[in-house]
Chains A and B, each alone.
Chain A
Amino acid sequence: MDLITSWIGNIPEFAVPFALAALGLIITEKSGVLALGAEGLMLVGAVAGIGAYLTFEQNAIALIMAMMAASVVSLLFALMVLVMRINQVISGLVLVFFCQGLSTLVGTLMGWTNQPVPGLHAIALWPLSELPYVGRFFVQNIVVYLTPVIFLVTVWALYRSTPGLRLRAVGENPQASDAAGIPVLGYRLAAIVVGAALIGLAGAFISVLSTKLWIANMTGGRGWIAVALVIFARWSPWKALAGAVLFGCIEALIPQLAASGIKLSQYFVFMAPYAITLGVMIWVAASKRDTSSQPADLGTPFIREERT
């Protein structure tokens, strides 16, 4: 009984980083930029969040600084893919490796490694928090409650505003957008920077609010799972949120199994999220759902056609 209660209570902590990172990726990719750098940007957000907390001792400042740090680093990615038009896959991979090195270096040099932080206290949503079994689900920190709000705002901006219409147009048909006078590269830059901010927030959630300390490479591949999640969700924010909860359920289950005395090799525990990701991807491919929801121009650099 306790097992189930604590499992359900732990789900949001695992689900929120996936959800925020996936949402950031969706914003970037809707503009036609293939963003594989999530893992790296999450690490940057994670280390910056801890660093900012240790410096200012304010959770809000820590989270905001984490978002800003990820956005600043994403400018490098924007420079590579928008200005220099380097292959977006390569640029994304390079960004991950660069950020892994950078975050480890900064964390070590500044002495931020293994320094515990208090995190945010949980708020109980009465009366939901009194429900049997699922009650613990509604005792979470403020960022967890804000996540659905962030989704609402993003969905509204993407699908119910003129800038959102333009952003999606840029990802579907940049030539047509250019002809309509929309600054294609400007929108892509904005999409990269805003997306990176959310991914950075996801990273800071892991370090500042969930694990409550910084360890090198602590995101452990969650950025990659978010990339897979976006494909699984077919670039739909709500499906991505649902997918994040699903992955959160699975991830939260593993420590519970271990705690319940089921003997699991620690390597199996490490492997499990990726095995599950693999399984989900295969299932998605096999179920042959429509692929048309992918932004048509995803991964293609924009060059204004000189003469047709």
Chain B
Amino acid sequence: MSKPNAIQLTGVSKTFDGFKALADADFTAKWGEVHALLGENGAGKSSLMNIVAGLYGPEGGSLFIDDNPVKLRGPKEAAKLGIGMVHQHFKLVAPFTVAENILLNLGHIQTSGLYRERLRRVSEDIRTMVDRIGFNIDPDTPIHRLSIAEQQRVEILKVLLAGAKVLILDEPTAVLTEEEAESLLTTVQGFAREGAAVILVTHKMNDVLRYADQVTIMRGGRTVTSLRPDSVSVDELVRLTVGESTTHTDQPSAERTPGEPYLRVSDLTSTAGRRALNGLDLTLNRGEIYGIAGVGGNGQSELANALMGIPEPVQGDMEIIGGGDLAELDAAQRRALGIASIPADRYGSALAGPLSIADNFALGDIHSGRYGPFWYLKTRAIEADATKAVHQFDVQGVRSLKQKAALLSGGNAQKLVIAREFSRPPRLVFAHSPSRGLDVKATEAVRERLRAARNDGAAVLLISEDLDEVMAMADRIGVMSAGRIVAEFSRPADRQAIGQAMVNHV
């Protein structure tokens, strides 16, 4: 039971731009164990592990390795102490071979000899390691010819060959298929059995239950508890991860009778890469908000892209009842049908930052000829409409309509997007994380707009990784997992049940 401590963190805090990412977090991982670090997006898991890997300096608290206090000055020092981290985003040089990439990373290990000789030795080391742990990687293959799962294995080989005894894997299964994830986790479990310490950062309950010896749960930058996964029920684990309901079930919206179906999506499947969307079915009714909940990376972005007309390789039907195929519509036709899109990346996909507020507003209606023919823009008409919209939608911080849209704060930029999208009464609204990064007041304003659209009979689809938001807004909730809607709930929905559906699949 009492294996020696490998890594111990006590009372660690870290702040980014005033945002407290970690507050008094404690964590202990022992040699010979797979230790899962479980929590929702933004719980602080990655920040905590980046401190262990020497990428961030903690503001308070201490780090112990083998029960000795250490101060890390950078990732190289962490590597020397045998700590290796595999990041979510791989750090590999694509045109180089596996061996060259690994050789690059061995800078701190002094090896002598000519370059060819060193490369040959590294290749040999790779072959030996690959045979031992059962990876199928050829050291002479260039990285760009490897699949994502293989590239991840190269990252693991990289830290192992650099002498890592403590292996930190940040969301390793997020990019893998189920079989790939299984094989990877079995392998890392093997490392732990041989005495290494493995830390598995994850938000997948299944990974924890099947592979972890110990689990530490984080929520809101704090470590909630640390326990053995087999000592508690799944319900308890979910409750600890999701937290007690903080939702004010403020919905006075009585029993709503949903209208007729307006959008029918059937068997939507990604045609490229891993199957981000995998046979998704969904029906959206008039006069209702359909909320899509789910852990990030389960196909939400791909679904949003497909629906909003952002290029996305999918097949399947997206039929607007009485309006034809959604995928066939061009931007002007989408406008004419009253389709409003609020993408997640408001500065990237919704607004043209360097253009003025008035220009950004006018973009929505420019096809219709409302602002003049192609060779002449009626600036007065644009400004008149923009002024009205800015007032009506309460876009603050507008000193002049000629001001660049990029200068607006997040909340006001979002209000500008909504002002444009709702400038004609919308009949179908797609909103992806519409309140991400907004303060309480702006969030409420955005939500009020969506509710108003719903009350006027629009069909609203709300995709959000924030369960609280979905709970507060939606009349019906679909839980998305592995590219499909795996469960549907009607109001009043049980938060625990939704949480469980979110994490139980995959």
Tell me, rounded to whole Å, the shortest Cβ–Cβ distance linking A52 to chain B. 35
1/0 contact string of A23-44 vs chain B (CB within 8 Å) = 0000000000000000000000
Q: Is A173 within 8 A of B76, CB to CB? A: no
Q: Is A162 within 8 A of B91, CB to CB? A: no
Q: Is A179 within 8 A of B93, CB to CB? A: no
Query: Which segment of A83-91, A133-141, A164-172, A251-259 sits at the interface?
Result: A164-172
Tell me, rounded to whole Å, the shortest Cβ–Cβ distance linking A64 to chain B. 28
Q: Give the CA-CA distance A308 to B76 in the complex, in Å.
A: 18
Q: Which of A160, A176, A296 has the most CB of B within 10 A?
A: A176
Tell me, rounded to whole Å, the shortest Cβ–Cβ distance linking A108 to chain B. 45
Nearest residue (CB) in A for B116 is: A160
Q: Let me know if A181 is at the binding interface, CB within 8 A.
A: yes
Interface residue from A160, A177, A292, A308 paired with B93 (Cβ < 8 Å): A177
Query: Which segment of B98-106, B188-196, B318-326 sits at the interface?
Result: B98-106
Q: Which of A28-81 contact B (CB under 8 A)?
A: none
Q: Is B115 within 8 A of A173, CB to CB? A: no
Q: Give the CA-CA distance A180 to B101 in the complex, in Å.
A: 9
Residues of chain B at interface, number, CB under 8 A: 21
Q: Give the CA-CA distance A178 to B458 in the complex, in Å.
A: 50
Q: Give the CA-CA distance A296 to B95 in the complex, in Å.
A: 9
Q: Let me know if B353 is at the binding interface, CB within 8 A.
A: no
Q: Is B76 within 8 A of A162, CB to CB? A: no
- Chain A residues within an 8 Å CB radius of B96: 165, 168-169, 172
Tell me, rounded to whole Å, the shortest Cβ–Cβ distance linking A46 to chain B. 35
- Chain B residues within an 8 Å CB radius of A147: none
Q: Which of B455-499 contact A (CB under 8 A)?
A: none
- Chain B residues within an 8 Å CB radius of A168: 93, 96
Q: Give the CA-CA distance A165 to B119 in the complex, in Å.
A: 11
1/0 contact string of A148-172 vs chain B (CB within 8 Å) = 0000000000001110111011001
- Chain A residues within an 8 Å CB radius of B248: none
Interface residue from B75, B89, B105, B107 paired with A308 (Cβ < 8 Å): B89
Nearest residue (CB) in B for A157 is: B115
Q: Give the CA-CA distance A164 to B433 in the complex, in Å.
A: 46
Q: Is A176 within 8 A of B92, CB to CB? A: yes
- Chain A residues within an 8 Å CB radius of B116: 160
Q: Let me know if A182 is at the binding interface, CB within 8 A.
A: yes
Q: Give the CA-CA distance A175 to B89 in the complex, in Å.
A: 11
Nearest residue (CB) in A for B100 is: A165
- Chain A residues within an 8 Å CB radius of B94: 172-173, 296
1/0 contact string of B164-194 vs chain A (CB within 8 Å) = 0000000000000000000000000000000
Given the known A-B contacts A176-B91, A179-B91, are A169 and B115 also in contact in the complex, defined by CB atoms under 8 Å? no
Tell me, rounded to whole Å, the shortest Cβ–Cβ distance linking A156 to chain B. 9
Q: Is B103 within 8 A of A179, CB to CB? A: no
Given the known A-B contacts A165-B104, A166-B104, A169-B96, are A180 and B91 also in contact in the complex, defined by CB atoms under 8 Å? yes
Nearest residue (CB) in A for B85 is: A179
- Chain A residues within an 8 Å CB radius of B101: 176
- Chain A residues within an 8 Å CB radius of B91: 173, 175-176, 179-180
Q: Is B93 within 8 A of A173, CB to CB? A: yes
Q: Let me know if A288 is at the binding interface, CB within 8 A.
A: no
Q: Let me know if B370 is at the binding interface, CB within 8 A.
A: no
Interface residue from A160, A175, A180 paired with B105 (Cβ < 8 Å): A180
Given the known A-B contacts A177-B93, A296-B94, are A182 and B115 also in contact in the complex, defined by CB atoms under 8 Å? no
Given the known A-B contacts A173-B92, A175-B91, are A161 and B115 also in contact in the complex, defined by CB atoms under 8 Å? yes
- In the complex, the number of residue pairs spanning A and B with C-beta atoms less than 8 Å apart equals 53
Q: Is B100 within 8 A of A182, CB to CB? A: no
Interface residue from A172, A179, A181, A307 paired with B95 (Cβ < 8 Å): A172
Nearest residue (CB) in A for B106 is: A180
Q: Let me know if B436 is at the binding interface, CB within 8 A.
A: no
Q: Give the CA-CA distance A308 to B55 in the complex, in Å.
A: 11
Q: Let me know if B16 is at the binding interface, CB within 8 A.
A: yes
Q: Is A181 within 8 A of B118, CB to CB? A: no
Interface residue from B75, B76, B115 paired with A165 (Cβ < 8 Å): B115
Tell me, rounded to whole Å, the shortest Cβ–Cβ distance linking A166 to chain B. 7
1/0 contact string of B68-91 vs chain A (CB within 8 Å) = 000000011000000000010101
Q: Which of B99-139 contact A (CB under 8 A)?
A: 100-101, 103-105, 107-108, 115-116, 118
Interface residue from B16, B92, B95, B107 paired with A182 (Cβ < 8 Å): B107
Q: Give the CA-CA distance A169 to B108 in the complex, in Å.
A: 16
Nearest residue (CB) in A for B74 is: A181
- Chain B residues within an 8 Å CB radius of A161: 115
Q: Give the CA-CA distance A173 to B105 in the complex, in Å.
A: 13
Q: Give the CA-CA distance A292 to B104 in the complex, in Å.
A: 21
Q: Is B95 within 8 A of A292, CB to CB? A: yes
Tell me, rounded to whole Å, the shortest Cβ–Cβ distance linking A124 to chain B. 37
Q: Is A162 within 8 A of B115, CB to CB? A: yes
- Chain B residues within an 8 Å CB radius of A307: 16
Q: Is B104 within 8 A of A177, CB to CB? A: yes
Q: Is A181 within 8 A of B93, CB to CB? A: no
1/0 contact string of A293-308 vs chain B (CB within 8 Å) = 0001000000000011
- Chain B residues within an 8 Å CB radius of A181: 75-76, 105, 107-108
Q: Is A162 within 8 A of B118, CB to CB? A: yes
Q: Give the CA-CA distance A161 to B75 in the complex, in Å.
A: 25
- Chain A residues within an 8 Å CB radius of B103: 162, 165
Interface residue from B93, B107, B115 paired with A172 (Cβ < 8 Å): B93
Tell me, rounded to whole Å, the shortest Cβ–Cβ distance linking A170 to chain B. 9
Interface residue from B87, B104, B118 paired with A169 (Cβ < 8 Å): B104
Given the known A-B contacts A160-B115, A308-B89, are A180 and B95 also in contact in the complex, defined by CB atoms under 8 Å? no
* B residues at A contact (CB < 8 Å): 16, 75-76, 87, 89, 91-96, 100-101, 103-105, 107-108, 115-116, 118
Please list the 10 inter-chain residue pairs (A to B) with the smallest Cβ-Cβ separation, ordered nearest first. Answer: A176-B91, A180-B105, A179-B91, A173-B93, A172-B93, A181-B76, A180-B104, A181-B107, A161-B115, A169-B93
A-B contact pairs, 20 of them (CB 8 A): A160-B115, A161-B115, A162-B103, A164-B115, A166-B104, A169-B96, A169-B104, A172-B93, A172-B95, A172-B96, A173-B92, A177-B93, A179-B75, A179-B91, A180-B105, A181-B75, A181-B108, A182-B104, A182-B107, A308-B89
